[in-house]
Amino acid sequence: MNLLHTADWHLGQTFYQYDRYNEHQYFLDNLLQIIEEQHTDVLLISGDVFDTANPAVASVKQFYHFLHQATERFPQLQIIAIAGNHDSPVRLEMPQPLLEDTQVHLVGYVKRNEQREIDYKRLIIPLYERGEVMAYCLAVPFLRLGDTPKNEDTNPDYTQGVEAFYREITEKALAIAKGKPLIAMGHLHALGAELSDEDTAERPIIGGMEGFKPTSFPNVLQYIALGHIHKAQTLGGKAHIRYSGSPIPLSFSEKDYQHQVVAFSLEEGRVQDIKTVPIPLHTPMLSVPERPLPVKEVLNALASLPKGTTHTPAPYLEVKVLLNEPAPELKNSILKAIAHKHVRLARIDVRYQQQQNTKKETLQKEITLNDLQPYEVLQRVYQNKFQKELPEFYKPLFDEAMEKATD
């Protein structure tokens, strides 16, 4: 049995002002090709199918069209998709009644029975090959605090709750599987997951409280297909516990990630041949320069960009600038510099030079906004950001704005 692990599609994402429909379609077309080349029997999608809980109609159609193509082209293919923290659990499961005669399973949320017990059996899905059950999949969606088992002796603890959930569902699955292998899915933030320094897309969801130890997964699980972290990686040195990563870069911090899906097989009850399959990049991302520089140097770097060809997608451009003070004409200067370049300006990342010799006060008086007048707030914000006094010419402009605001 051959399986394919992917996650974090984020269909419908708008990259600054740019729609990414074509990029996602390029990935989905490649995914169909990979399914064929890898002779895939089971496709695992570990959450964040959509970028928002209320995706655009075009994105929903794109997902359904993929399901239709995949099931029509590969009649024996099983597809299991779980909800991530970006997905609406109800919306993800909405088409499930129409898919009852197919091998597509959409798992959005955890259900409880009349006794308020967790319905684990609903999340334990048999995996078939030629009509025979070969393994079982624990399709665990993104867990919220109310989804986890309750411990009456202690205060609610999210991490302990997630650990208890995987322990209890594994116990239920072992009783059902009767020796057949178990694989698990999840959408969570695991401790030790590696991120780039500037990656802010998928930081810990609940203020760091939900960091889950990879060692907390039951040892009997043959493979753990995770989503949420966009950088593809294994955890704790274990090849069978891994994030597949996002299939396309979802921020400039991800432009150097190796975007991929993970293929593996089950042979004689054991996971074998875990390998990564790269995803071709549709639209490149470009940072000029790689680190913030003064305006003159930035404009020179932009001027040296090649004009390129219109036959390939224009790269998204991030411009990194280092300033000493506000530069109102900065954007216009950048637009002029790239007017005939084969790029699309997406972001201007402005950083301000901090004074190196500024002495830090040992003690700082605590001040609330109620203690300050509005103009004093502006002065303090400006001074904190630019390390200099607010110029006097802002005062009449501020007074005019305040007068209009209070009319």
Output the pTM of the full model.
Answer: 0.85
Report how far apart, in Å, the C-alpha atoms of 258 and of each of 30, 49, 99, 241, 248 are: 16, 19, 33, 17, 9
Sheet holding 344-352, edge to edge: 285-293, 316-323, 344-352
212 pLDDT tier (thresholds 50, 70, 90): confident
Cβ neighbours of 294 (radius 10 Å) = 12
Above 60 in pLDDT, residue 206? no
pLDDT number for residue 398: 83
3-class secondary-structure state, position 122: helix
The token duo for 44 is 């695992």
Q: At 191, phi and psi to the nearest 5?
A: -60, 140
Report d(CA 79, CA 4) in Å as an integer.
10
% of the chain surpassing 70 pLDDT: 89
Above 90 in pLDDT, residue 209? no
3-class secondary-structure state, position 190: strand
Report how far apart, in Å, the C-alpha atoms of 324 and of each of 9, 318, 350 are: 39, 20, 10
Average pLDDT over residues 375-404: 79
Report d(CA 224, CA 222) in Å as an integer.
7
pLDDT number for residue 131: 85
117-172: per-residue pLDDT in tens? 999 999 999 999 888 999 999 999 999 988 999 876 666 788 899 999 999 999 99
235-275: per-residue pLDDT in tens? 989 999 999 999 999 999 999 999 999 999 999 889 999 99
Comparing CA positions, the residue from 163, 155, 136, 158 lying closest to residue 146 is 158
The token duo for 163 is 């650990």
pLDDT number for residue 7: 98
pLDDT number for residue 360: 40
Least confident of 285-294, 338-347, 381-390: 381-390
3-class secondary-structure state, position 71: helix
pLDDT number for residue 368: 46
Report d(CA 70, CA 28) in Å as an integer.
10
Average pLDDT over residues 355-382: 54
Report d(CA 88, CA 161) in Å as an integer.
21
Report d(CA 122, CA 157) in Å as an integer.
24
Report d(CA 76, CA 254) in Å as an integer.
34
